[in-house]
Amino acid sequence: MNAIMSQRQRAAARPRLRALLREDIDCVFQRDPAARTRFEVATTYPGVHAIALHRLANRLWQRGNRYLPRLLSYIGRVWTGIDIHPGATIGRRFFIDHGTGVVIGETAEVGDDVTIYHGVTLGGVSWNKGKRHPTLGDRVVVGAGAKILGPVEVGQGARVGANSVVIAPVPAGKTVVGIPGKVVRSKVLADQQHVDGIDLNHHLIPDPVAEAVSCLLERIRLLEEQVGMHGRLSGGDEPEDGCTECDAAQVCEPVEIELQRTGS
C-alpha cells in the first residue's frame, strides 16, 4: 500500500504534460531570435515536436509499456531526425536548436533549461545494462556536433564546444573543448547578458593547444637568453625570413607581438 501511495505521490508531483509542453514552446522565444509566434514554433520546430513525442513516450515507458513508447520514438526520429530513447529522463524547458542528427540514449539524464544543437550525441560506451549514458546538469549548453559518451556528469552551467568529444566529468560552470574534451578557462565578458542564467556564448572558447605552444615558445626564448643564443643560430645570425614557411605562424605571430609590446 505504501509503495502504491508513493507512486501516486510521485505522479502527482510531476508537472502535467500540457504545462511541460507549454514551457518547451515558451523557452524557444528566449533562446532563438528567429522565433516569431507560438503557432509557428508549435508547427515548424522539429525540436519541439521531438520533445513533445518524447514526453508522451516517457510517461508510457514509466508505466511499464514498452512497445508503444518505442514506436513513438521511431515516429519522432523519422519525422524530425532526432532520436530520443523513451527511457531517457528530460528536464523542463529543454531546447533542441535545429536538431538534425541529435541522439539521446536510454539512461541519459538531462536537467532543466538545457540547450543542445544539431548533431549532438549523448551516447554510451558499453553494451552492459545499467547507467551507461551521460548526465547533464541544469543550464548546460552543448555545441553542434559534440559527443558526450559514457556515464559522465556535466555540471550545472557547463558548456561543451562544438565538435568536442567528452569522455570525462565536467565541473560546473566550466567549458570543454577538443578531442578528447579538455576543461579550459573561457573568457567571460563583463557586460555579457545571459538568458535566465544560461550562457549561450559557447563560441567564446580558447585554444588550449595554441596556448601550450605559446608557453613553450616563451620558455625557449628565455632559455636562449640564458645561454647567450637569443637571436642567432649556431652558424651565424638568424635570417630575417626564417619563419616564412612555418605552419605555426598563427601561433608565433601573437607571441612576437606581445614580446614587442612588453619590450622583452
In this structure, the answer to whether residues 61 and 108 fall within a common structural domain is yes
Is the domain of 21 the same as that of 129?
yes
Range of the domain at 88: 2-184
Kindly state whether residue 237 falls inside one of the protein's structural domains: yes
| Residues 158 and 51 grouped into a single domain | yes
In a domain, 257, yes or no: yes
Residue 2 has pLDDT above 70, yes or no: no
Instruction: State whether 179 and 234 are in the same domain.
Output: no
Residue 151 resides in a domain:
yes
Same domain for 38 and 151, yes or no, is: yes
Share of the chain above pLDDT 90, in %: 52
pLDDT digits (tens, 9 = 90+) for 63-104: 999 999 999 999 999 999 999 999 999 999 999 998 899 999
Output the CA torsion sign for 97, 99, 103, 105: positive
Q: Is the peptide bond before 206 cis (omega within 30 degrees of 0)?
A: no
- The answer to whether 197 and 113 are in contact (CB under 8 A) is yes
Q: What is the DSSP letter of 16?
A: P
Tell whether 38 and 149 lie within a shared domain.
yes
User: Domain boundary at 152, 184, 216, which?
Assistant: 184
Q: Is the pTM of this model over 0.85?
A: no
**Residues 119 and 6 both lie in one domain:** yes
pLDDT tens column, 96-118 = 998 899 999 999 999 999 999 99
Together in a domain, 85 and 161: yes
58 vs 35: CA distance, rounded Å:
27
CATH code, domain carrying 118: 2.160.10.10
Do residues 146 and 160 make contact, with C-beta atoms less than 8 angstroms apart? yes
pLDDT in tens, 184-232: 865 554 445 555 555 555 555 666 677 778 788 888 888 877 887 655 5
First and final CA of the chain: distance in angstroms? 78
Decide if pLDDT at 1 tops 50: no
Q: Count structural domains, the chain.
A: 2
